[in-house]
Amino acid sequence: MPRLSDIIEEFIKQMLQENDDRELQIRRNQLANQFSCAPSQINYVLTTRFTKDKGYYIESKRGGGGCIILRRIEFSDNNDLSEILRDKIGNTITYNSASNIINGLIESEFITEREGNLMKVAINDRVLNNVISDKNKIRADILKSMIMIIL
């Protein structure tokens, strides 16, 4: 049985898919009431499942009941990918962070799921098992190279 966080995440993703302009306004309290949970549960889902690494931008508006604006980041040009290479990957990256970036590229349909799976296999810990030091540096170099090929 799926956890509440998974259900809320899928619900929000469905709402985003139905909204063509890739922006969604969420009233945290209303969503919490709908799922019979605390508003902090909604915050948890938004801050852990809708991160910049995964291709989302969150903005909070206060006053008038307040709302949260969730925007889907489009990886549509070389500037966006250059930002990923420079700011998100950097000189080192963990597998989890790299996987989040790849998932964001898949969700934004910049790469296919098959391409994403190949990328994940190439950078996973089992493949880099024989690397004694700087595993995260090598992972970053491999991921950057794969993304550069996509460019």
112/68 same-domain check:
no
Average pLDDT per 10 consecutive residues for the chain, totaling 151 residues: 88 84 82 90 88 76 73 64 71 91 85 93 91 89 83 57
Q: Which of 72, 105, 120 is the last residue of a domain?
A: 72
The structure's pTM equals: 0.57
- Strand, helix or coil for residue 115: helix
What is the pLDDT, as a whole number, of residue 137?
Answer: 92
67/104 same-domain check:
no
Please give the residue range of the domain that contains residue 24: 4-72
85/52 same-domain check:
no
129/88 same-domain check:
yes
At a CB cut-off of 8 Å and minimum separation 6, what does 101 contact?
Answer: 53, 54, 84, 88, 89, 93, 143
Q: What is the token pair recorded at 25?
A: 């306004």
